[in-house]
Chain A
């Protein structure tokens, strides 16, 4: 009983941290996980009293894992609030900015948040239903992952082509009309993808050093620069006039309910795919899901994207135990802490049970908190000193990057920010910046 109480306590701590990080605009969940990973040594020291009280050190590591996973789940559910209200989306929500902002301009910002929370929570429940079947499909006896691994190179190339081929932005060049702006949009998307890929190769060859002796993940400044900073920088330059918001609870008609269920199912399946395939993000999963789904109404796009995000955060936990691979910063952090036992039979490993309890609890807390905080935001967001919040967040990211990766990290952050600004300024999808991981991974499989 005490063990369960401790799991719940650490889950709550994680949710509280997730609320704080999720509400800060432009901070990606993977960056949070990388920071938490670097601080895991400090956590272990801070909670050493548990080891002194007779708990095995493995269990203390598990509790820190529970904290990290709960934080990532809460962050994933809550980060829609700044992205919808403050116009500072993170890379995974990049596709939903337009639909959510459109609702915001109609005075329905709270509805957008409610739909997003519903998509996320629905994905958690749907993922629980799929838990056992997916385990058998991915692991033994079907070994889908093994089959996928053999053709991973082609899968990754196909996904890259899909991402670039479905780019719908139009870039007018030399006054050419008809289909040319579309073609230039795709060419520019390809340019961003390749430049990010080259950048990825380069940064993995560079040694970064923390001036205060912390672990130095080179991906931290790169991801913060590619996905976090550009939105912060550009949002400082925009001052949208937003109408008064409607705070009524969302009531869905039966047709929208059915449509939402389909969005949650396709979004969750997209999220599962993202949790298996290396180097792709939720935005990629959403493109795949929306293409399968074939409907692109504002509301359904928001639900699908949130479902992809949360299903991915859920299934990376499962994949740690089924394919013994980490597919997110949070999973990487947990795998560094605990010895992961493979889920080879019907009964799942004990540690996975505890982590799933924390996923379910964190998801439930985060759902209700999102509705609650979303309502407060909708009512009070005109009073929020937005510009100050963004400036403080930029300062915080710069300080953190310096503390973790030193001057070289700052240089990486600066260049990554300029690369990240390209899609924002030219209007193509920001997920093309995931070339930073995808291209090195493609070359790895070659």
Chain B
């Protein structure tokens, strides 16, 4: 067989062989804390969106948190993520300055596993580890305990833990103590009063009244 035919046969069959090999060799699925072990390699990992912004050249930098570790996801183009969304990304691990980055080369390699507003937390769960949810969007269900001009308190059903919710009273909601509400807001630290709070500060945030009261 001459080199012409040999190259034609091996180029085609070799590429197909490599393709089947690539299907078998999936990237390792790791936690964010294991990123340093995989520098320069392709991995799949998950985390909660803690921060995100779009650069001047329409790339997106998404900070994700998980297992007390933070990493930056760099993706060319923009994805429709929000604070508090749990996302799964596949990309190459790189260290940039002091941060671990996951370079995602295709939007298809970023998947929103769970939208923040589809997962409701009980107040006790926030109270158990508040720093885990700090500055994230959360969806909290509870009962109104007391109402003031621009804020109200919600408590869980056992009345053990309460949380203050800052809201815009012009929303015109019919709120009253004992009413069950579902609050979508940002979990923040109220420095002035040294307490955690839910802030209704974005257009995705809101208060939804539930049918059952106490």
Contact = CB atoms under 8 A, between A and B. Distances in A.
Q: Is chain B a partner of chain A in the same complex?
A: yes
Interface of A: 149, 195, 198-199, 202-207, 209, 215-216, 234, 237, 323-325, 339, 342, 411-412, 414-415, 418-419, 421-422, 425-426, 444
Given A216-B41, A421-B3, A207 B15 contact: no
A421 B7 contact: yes
A198 B57 CA distance: 28
Max chain B C-beta neighbours (<10 A), residue from A203, A207, A216, A339: A207
Interface in B38-85: 39-42, 56-58, 76
29 contacts: A198-B15, A202-B18, A204-B105, A205-B22, A205-B25, A206-B18, A206-B21, A207-B25, A207-B27, A216-B40, A216-B41, A234-B3, A237-B3, A324-B56, A342-B56, A411-B21, A414-B14, A415-B10, A415-B11, A415-B14, A415-B15, A415-B18, A418-B7, A419-B7, A419-B11, A419-B14, A425-B3, A425-B4, A444-B106
B174 interface: no
A237 B17 CA distance: 28
Those 8 A-B pairs whose CB atoms lie nearest each other, nearest first: A415-B14, A421-B7, A418-B11, A205-B22, A418-B10, A419-B11, A425-B4, A215-B40
Contact of A207 (B10, B41, B105): B41
A159 B127 CA distance: 59
Nearest to A233: B3
A203 B18 contact: yes
A419 B15 contact: yes
Kindly state the interface size class of chain B when it binds its partner: 20 to 34
B12 interface: yes
Contact of A411 (B12, B18, B42): B18
B41 A421 contact: no
B208 interface: no
B29 to A, nearest CB: 13
Contact of A202 (B8, B15, B41, B106): B15
Max chain A C-beta neighbours (<10 A), residue from B21, B40, B57, B105: B40
Contacts of A411: 18, 21
B121 interface: no
Given A206-B25, A444-B106, A422 B18 contact: no
B19 interface: yes
Contacts of A426: 4
Contacts, number: 71
B57 A324 contact: yes
Interface of B: 3-4, 6-8, 10-12, 14-15, 17-19, 21-22, 25, 27, 39-42, 56-58, 76, 97, 105-106
Contacts of A205: 22, 25
A323 B11 contact: no
Contacts of A234: 3
B21 to A, nearest CB: 7
A186 B56 CA distance: 40
Nearest to B106: A444
Contact of B57 (A207, A323, A339, A412): A323
Contacts of A339: 97
Given A206-B25, A323-B57, A422-B8, A444 B14 contact: no
Contacts of B76: 444
A162 to B, nearest CB: 24
A399 to B, nearest CB: 20
A162 B187 CA distance: 55
B51 to A, nearest CB: 20
| A contacts with B: majority SS | helix
Contacts of B21: 206, 411
Contacts of A198: 15, 19
A199 B40 contact: no
A199 B40 CA distance: 21
Given A206-B25, A415-B14, A422 B7 contact: yes
Given A204-B105, A412-B18, A426-B4, 17 more contacts: A149-B57, A195-B12, A202-B15, A202-B18, A202-B19, A205-B25, A206-B25, A207-B27, A216-B40, A216-B41, A237-B3, A415-B15, A415-B17, A418-B10, A418-B14, A419-B15, A425-B3
Nearest to A342: B56
A425 B10 CA distance: 13
A444 B105 contact: yes
A198 B6 CA distance: 19
B57 A325 contact: yes
Contacts of A199: 15, 18
B14 A425 contact: no
Contacts of A216: 40-41
A408 to B, nearest CB: 8
A207 B39 CA distance: 12
A325 B59 CA distance: 11
A96 B22 CA distance: 37
B15 A195 contact: yes
A204 B109 CA distance: 12
A234 B15 CA distance: 21
B42 A207 contact: yes
A216 B94 CA distance: 12
A422 B10 CA distance: 10
A425 B7 contact: yes
Contacts of B3: 234, 237, 421, 425
Contacts of A412: 18
